[in-house]
Amino acid sequence: MIRPNLFAWQWSDYAAKHRDRENLLIHLVAVPLFQAGTVILVVGIGVLSALGIGIAVACLAAALVIEGRGHAREAETPAPFDGPLDFASRFVAEQWITFPRFVLTGAWRRSFRAAAGPRP
pLDDT digits (tens, 9 = 90+) for 97-118: 999 999 999 999 999 999 976 6
Burial class (CB in 10 A: 0-12, 13-18, 19+), 75: exposed
Q: How far is CA 108 from the centre of its chain?
A: 13
Is residue 75 domain-resident? yes
Is residue 35 domain-resident? yes
Residue 9 lies in a domain: no
CB 35, CB 94: distance < 8 Å: no
Assigned domain for 7 exists: no
Whether 8 is covered by a domain: the verdict is no
In this structure, is residue 4 part of a structural domain? Answer: no
| Residue 29 reports pLDDT greater than 70 | yes
State the average pLDDT for the chain.
95
pLDDT tens across 36-72, in order?
Answer: 999 999 999 999 999 999 999 999 999 999 999 999 9
**Mean pLDDT, residues 73-81 taken together:** 92
Which residues have a Cβ under 8 Å from the Cβ of 82 and sit 6 or more positions away? 1, 3
C-beta of residue 31 within 8 angstroms of C-beta of residue 63: yes
* 120 part of a folded domain: no
**Is the pLDDT at 26 greater than 80, yes or no?**
yes
Q: How far apart are CA 73 and CA 5, in angstroms?
A: 27
Taking residues 14-34, report their average pLDDT. Answer: 97
Number of domains in the chain: 1
